[in-house]
Amino acid sequence: MSNINFTYLPGDGIGPEVGAAALSVLQAVADKFGHTLETEHHLVGGAAIDAVGTPLPDDTYASCKKTGAILLGAVGGPKWDHLEGADRPELGSLLPLRKNLNLYANIRPAKVHPALIDRAPLKRERLEGVDFVVVRELTGGIYFGEKGRDEQGAYDICRYSEMEVERIAIKAFDLAMSRKKKVTSVDKQNVLQTSRLWRETVIRVAKDYPEVELEHLLVDAMTMHMLTHGQSFDVILTENMFGDILTDEASVLCGSMGVIPSASTSDGRTGMYEPIHGSAPDIAGQGKANPIAMILSASWMLRLSFGLEAEAAAIEASVDAALYGAHLTGDLGGKLSTSEVGKFISEHIKG
């Protein structure tokens, strides 16, 4: 029996709704497998700004650092768009958490579920068999570089060190060894010095993985190839901004952003787990939000931060049952509410 102690950050918009569904699923797992669930609830993002005036309160960060396992709903919304810089919900909470907890590796899967092929806008032959993972460097690059404005305009500096590229490349190659043994490194080396360093470093790391096939693609070409022959990819390795864009594009293959989880990890078992979708304030409080991405993020937390493989697999099997049985929210053609989808998955886990 394990004590599953983690920090839960419901966030803004639909975050509390999809989070409640995920918590019900985690409780079902704990009951079935004989674990205790110890959840530390804290404010983050816009909700924290409204309550205490800062997007990342000290007690929230202290809990995240202590537990090392964070389940996050979503942050931000138009209510706080007038704020600037670190006062904004996203910049003032997500980026500091990633940087201070050294969450340098973002892992996002793109696996097309057979039950959702007809929900995607692409032809079936473009989708069948698509199963790849994007490994995105998360704490370097243009998002964390020096920013500012002067009399000549504005600037955002993109900088990478060899060490930053090396460690994310190792993550990607290690992952490829457990999959189809292929890494596609995405850069813009024909234009950018950071991309030239990126490619040189990835090639050097690849020498330690002779079983893994390495290919390079420019990011503009990747945006086309991902949609036209996604079946050819296994592990896609890229830098921060490119990864941000490509993973959102990959959601088109899967039929909905509402089914894609993500994990932001460090060395060891520290990790933050969240759906790739935003806070969707236009549907908040209406029971329309799809909780599957949040529920799958919870399964990743069990697997990566707690080493509970069987428990994670139980959640994923129950999500499959919901998808095949059309026990879904309206975005996937179903008729259930957010909480009803969570209830179905929880009951399926209990058997």
In a domain, 64, yes or no: yes
Q: Is 143 a catalytic residue?
A: yes
The answer as to whether 47 is a domain residue is yes
Q: Is 294 a residue whose pLDDT tops 90?
A: yes
Find out whether 125 and 286 touch, Cβ atoms under 8 Å: no
Q: Residues, the chain, total?
A: 351
Catalytic annotation present for 248: yes
Q: What is the mean pLDDT of residues 50-65?
A: 98
How far is C-alpha 175 from the geometric centre of its chain's CA atoms?
A: 16
Residues 5 and 16 in one domain: yes
Q: What pLDDT is stored for residue 240 in this prediction?
A: 97
The whole-number pLDDT of residue 119 equals 82
List 61, 171, 188, 234, catalytic entry? 188
Tell me, what's the pLDDT at 254?
87
Across the range 124-140, mean pLDDT stands at 95
Residues 56 and 93 reside in one and the same domain:
yes
**pLDDT attached to residue 146:** 94
Q: Let me know: does 271 contact 312? Beta carbons within 8 Å.
A: no
Q: Active site includes 104?
A: no
Per-residue pLDDT tens digits for 296-320:
999 999 999 999 999 999 999 999 9
Q: Does one domain contain both 200 and 330?
A: no
Q: What does the alpha-carbon distance between residue 137 and residue 198 come to, in Å, rounded to a whole number? A: 11
30 and 159 fall within a common domain = no
Q: Whole-angstrom Cα distance, residue 346 to residue 351?
A: 9
Whether 205 and 93 share a structural domain: no
The CATH number covering residue 196 comes to 3.40.718.10
Order of strands across the sheet with 261-265?
36-41, 3-11, 69-74, 271-275, 261-265, 105-111, 131-137, 235-238, 182-187, 213-218
**Residue 215 Cα distances to 99, 186, 275, 343, angstroms:** 29, 9, 28, 43
Q: Is residue 127 part of a domain?
A: yes
pLDDT at 128 over 80: yes
Task: Give yes or no: residues 216 and 109 share one domain.
Answer: yes
pLDDT number for residue 252: 86
Q: Are 336 and 329 in contact (CB under 8 A)?
A: yes
Helical H runs in 13-113?
15-33, 45-52, 58-67, 89, 95-100
Instruction: Among 269, 300, 329, identify where a domain stops.
Output: 269
User: In this model, does residue 190 exceed pLDDT 90?
Assistant: yes
> Which pLDDT value is given to residue 12?
98
Same-domain status, 265 and 292: no
Smallest Cα–Cα separation from 301: which of 291, 311, 292?
Answer: 311
The answer to whether the beta carbons of residues 93 and 45 sit under 8 Å apart is: yes
With a pLDDT cut of 70, the percent of the chain lying above it is 100
Q: Which of 222, 243, 269 is the last residue of a domain?
A: 269
Identify which of 50, 113, 79, 122 has the alpha carbon closest to the alpha carbon of residue 258: 113
- Confidence grade of residue 98 (pLDDT, cut at 50, 70, 90): very high
Query: Residue 292 domain-assigned?
Result: yes
Cβ contact 128:164 at 8 Å: no
Q: What is the pLDDT of residues 208-236, one digit of tens each?
A: 999 999 999 999 999 999 999 999 999 99
Catalytic residue among 87, 131, 248, 331: 248
Whole-angstrom distance, CA of residue 160 vs CA of residue 41: 35
Task: Indicate whether 274 belongs to any domain.
Answer: no
Same domain membership, residue 185 and residue 131: yes
The answer to whether 129 and 227 are in contact (CB under 8 A) is: no
Can you give the pLDDT at residue 120? 84
64 and 163 both lie in a single domain: no
Question: Is residue 262 within 8 Å of residue 276, measured between CB atoms?
Answer: yes
- Domain-terminating residue out of 246, 269, 292: 269
Residues 131, 264 share a domain: yes
Residue with token string 């994670």: 312
User: Does one domain contain both 85 and 14?
Assistant: yes
* Mean per-residue pLDDT, 21-32: 98
What average pLDDT score do residues 262-278 get? 94
Active-site residue among 8, 12, 244, 273?
Answer: 244
Per-residue pLDDT at 145 exceeds 90: yes
> What is the residue-averaged pLDDT of the chain?
96
Overall average pLDDT of the 27-46 stretch: 97
Using CB atoms within 10 Å of the CB of residue 119, give its burial: 0 to 12 exposed, 13 to 18 middle, 19+ buried.
middle
Which entry of 8, 61, 143, 160 is annotated as an active-site residue? 143
H/E segment holding residue 351:
none
Our answer to whether residue 234 is catalytic in this structure is no
Catalytic residue check, 188? yes
Is the four-CA dihedral 75, 21, 120, 286 of positive or negative sign? negative
146 in a domain, yes or no? yes
Pair 137, 238 in one domain: yes
Query: How many structural domains does the chain have?
Result: 2
**Owning domain of residue 291:** 1-101+279-351
pLDDT score for 109:
93
Which of 320, 268, 278, 282 has the alpha carbon at shortest distance from 299?
A: 320
Q: In this structure, what token pair is assigned to residue 191?
A: 């234009």
